Chains A and B, each alone.
Chain A
Amino acid sequence: GENVEQHPSTLSVQEGDSAVIKCTYSDSASNYFPWYKQELGKGPQLIIDIRSNVGEKKDQRIAVTLNKTAKHFSLHITETQPEDSAVYFCAANLYGQNFVFGPGTRLSVLP
């Protein structure tokens, strides 16, 4: 089955700097890669996703890149703000089947 690894587990950056979180997956059949932001006591919120036929996707300060050959994908947050502080989860799946989540990254943006 699918296995998703995520690094780093914790990340602290200064406000305004960029943050990068990386994930690797094992099942080459996976074709959908979402990123979720989870604030304390709340459910995960989708912030960006990418499908296997695309190499990069950007939405304002957030971007995701996918390298299918190497089976890894990354989340990039630019111009970080304190409200970006949260736990971020990557996930991978073959569309229509259940997700496998990474272990999460706790991002702290220091003012």
Chain B
Amino acid sequence: GAVVSQHPSWVICKSGTSVKIECRSLDFQATTMFWYRQFPKQSLMLMATSNEGSKATYEQGVEKDKFLINHASLTLSTLTVTSAHPEDSSFYICSAETDFGGYTFGSGTRLTVV
């Protein structure tokens, strides 16, 4: 149980376009989801915390107008990278707080902006 499905697993987009990444909790309701970014050979860095039905809380240094987070339902949170640039290329991972007091991660999305 407690599975988070993240899509797409990889995406290539052109500079200036937008990309949406979805995270769905398949067998539980996720009131809170977290979005992380990971550069090669580095640890996960929290970008924002999203709570269902309210605005996301962004970490210092993360542009909320560039990384749009929507958590409109208890099973779906989305991250949209707007006007993507090559420096946005990274591995993006979501995680969700589960019903039984733990956290589970999505499989990640590798974004390449060309």
Contacts and interface: CB of A to CB of B under 8 A. Distances in A.
B75 interface: no
B101 to A, nearest CB: 7
Interface stretch (A14-22, A36-44, A54-62, A78-86): A36-44
Interface of A is mostly: loop
B93 A99 contact: no
Contacts of A45: 105
Contacts of A95: 101
Given A46-B103, A46-B104, A89 B44 contact: yes
Contacts of B95: 99
B7 to A, nearest CB: 12
| Band of interface residues on B | 20 to 34
Contacts of B34: 98-99
A96 B32 CA distance: 9
B107 interface: yes
Given A41-B108, A43-B107, A44-B93, A103 B101 contact: no
Interface residues of A, number: 19
Interface string A92-111: 00011011111110000000
Interface of A: 34, 36, 41-46, 49, 89, 95-96, 98-104
23 contacts: A34-B102, A41-B91, A43-B6, A43-B105, A43-B108, A44-B93, A46-B103, A49-B102, A89-B43, A89-B44, A95-B101, A96-B32, A96-B97, A98-B46, A98-B49, A99-B46, A99-B95, A99-B103, A101-B43, A101-B44, A102-B43, A103-B43, A104-B41
Interface of B: 6, 32, 34, 41-44, 46, 49, 91, 93, 95, 97, 101-108, 110
